[in-house]
Amino acid sequence: MSATGTTTGPAARGQFRSAFVRAGHPFLMWEGLMNVPAALRGGLTPERRGEVARAALALDRVEIAHVAGCGTSYFSAIAATYGLHEIAGLPAAAYNAFEFAAYPPAGLDRAALIAISHTGGTPSVLNALATARRGGAVTIGLTDVPWSPVSEAVPDVILGEGGAEPALPKTRSYVASLLKHYLLAAEVGGRRGRDTARYLRALEAAPEIARTVLDASGGPAEHLAATMRNRPRMFVVGGGPNLATAYEGALKLQEAAHVAAHAWEIEETMHGPWVSIDPGDLVVVLAFRGPAYAKAAGFASAVAGVGAEVWLITDAADPVPGAAHRTQLALDIPEVLTPLVAVLPLYHFAYHVALARGVRPDAMRLTDDRYLAARVALPR
């Protein structure tokens, strides 16, 4: 028995076996991060592009695409809506899969559901698909596991490379999911007569861009993690397409390093939450060239004035007063695609914060029987 009275014997540990495999660097999370370029290359093969084309054909008659997932997959859904709007000209809305299944939107007979589950077995995602089918929606699945329940529940599935990611905090699967969304948006846009050439050029270069960003951001993120490891709270702030990056970055700090991390949308931050920032807190600001840039840069300067430690992640060369730390990504891609690589410095940072704090980044505290018992007891 654990301290909570819940049985956590070998069977319970067996559900999460991969979390206990390694006790030192390189952890499985590190391997996932290093495999991002390969996952992107795998997503560009003719076989995967064929799956994208078939899914795009199924979207010809829909008026809106609902995109749903849980956790990292939900954040992928948020980023997807920006791509569908800009690249495809298709209205889209993102949902947590539980919310979609429990409180479905109207007009499903004129809609599509793009359901995302890395493992292909997330119960809430399967429930969302069942709800969509009952309402007459077109259904498309995104998963990395062939022959999974999700892939068998839909007529069109877009698969990823590498199978199930063994680390509990996911990295490569999030970026691979984004690529699927953007390729689908470009295919839909092309079918609707839109000019998608510059988006496709950027997507085809994505593996090389990701490798460059990983190589350039690793050392600085490790150094920053060593100095920031004991900060009591961390905030990640972004807007537009990189709202998804803020959510995903904060989640990785929570999962991998057990940090009290918070994600905020840039405008909502101005409407009250910013006053909870204390001197010494780390505030990560995502400031990419586009409509949200000026507000993000201005926010970074303002909160530096209260004594927050500001880390700016940007693709702009403009100086931002008050930013104590700056990661400048050399990018020449549309803003809507920047989530593909904007998250990579945050992944590096979360991993190294975990190491600096003596935490196993793969395990999400499941080496502690109390947390293992709680995880087994969580409703699914």
Any idea what the Cα angle at residue 129 is, between residues 127 and 133, rounded to 5°?
A: 120
The pLDDT, as a whole number, for residue 2 is: 38
Q: Pick from 286, 242, 284, 343: which is nearest to 32 by CA?
A: 343
The answer on 182 and 99 residing in a single domain is: yes
Q: Is the model's pLDDT at 12 over the cut of 70?
A: no
pLDDT in tens, 332-376: 999 999 999 999 999 999 999 999 999 999 999 998 899 999 999
Q: Is the model's pLDDT at 17 over the cut of 80?
A: no
The answer on 212 and 148 residing in a single domain is: no
The answer on 312 and 281 residing in a single domain is: yes
The answer on 215 and 103 residing in a single domain is: no
The answer on 221 and 147 residing in a single domain is: no
The answer on 217 and 91 residing in a single domain is: no
pLDDT in tens, 225-240: 999 988 889 999 999 9
Q: Pick from 185, 222, 235, 237: which is nearest to 67 by CA?
A: 185
pLDDT in tens, 190-205: 999 999 999 999 999 9
Q: Pick from 6, 17, 30: which is nearest to 366 by CA?
A: 17
What is d(CA 67, CA 108) in angstroms, rounded to the nearest whole number? 12
Pair 283, 309: CB distance under 8 Å: yes
Indicate the pTM of the whole model: 0.95
58 within a domain of the structure (yes/no) = yes
The answer on 161 and 255 residing in a single domain is: no
Number of structural domains (the chain) is: 2
Any idea what the Cα angle at residue 265 is, between residues 267 and 374, rounded to 5°?
A: 150
The answer on 39 and 152 residing in a single domain is: yes
Q: Which of 162, 187, 204 is the last residue of a domain?
A: 204
pLDDT band (50, 70, 90) for residue 6:
very low
10 within a domain of the structure (yes/no) = no
pLDDT band (50, 70, 90) for residue 4:
very low
CA–CA distance from 340 to each of 28, 36, 156 (Å)? Answer: 20, 10, 23
What is d(CA 251, CA 126) in angstroms, rounded to the nearest whole number? 23
294 within a domain of the structure (yes/no) = yes
Find the mean pLDDT for residues 69-97: 98
| Residue type for position 128 | A
292 within a domain of the structure (yes/no) = yes
107: alpha, beta or left? (left if phi > 0; alpha if psi -120 to 50):
left
Q: Which of 154, 188, 204 is the last residue of a domain?
A: 204
pLDDT in tens, 58-80: 999 999 999 999 999 999 999 99
Mean pLDDT of the chain: 94
185 within a domain of the structure (yes/no) = yes
Which CATH number belongs to the domain containing residue 334 in this structure? 3.40.50.10490
pLDDT in tens, 251-295: 999 999 999 999 999 999 999 999 999 999 999 999 999 999 999
Q: Pick from 123, 170, 161, 124: which is nearest to 143 by CA?
A: 161
- Other Cβ atoms closer than 10 A to 56: 23
The answer on 54 and 188 residing in a single domain is: yes
The answer on 231 and 192 residing in a single domain is: no
Residue showing tokens 């010494």: 280
**Beta strand segments in 316-368, E:** 325-328
pLDDT in tens, 121-175: 999 999 999 999 999 999 999 999 999 999 999 999 999 988 999 999 999 999 9
212 lies in which domain range? Answer: 208-356
Q: Pick from 38, 74, 68, 87: which is nearest to 191 by CA?
A: 87
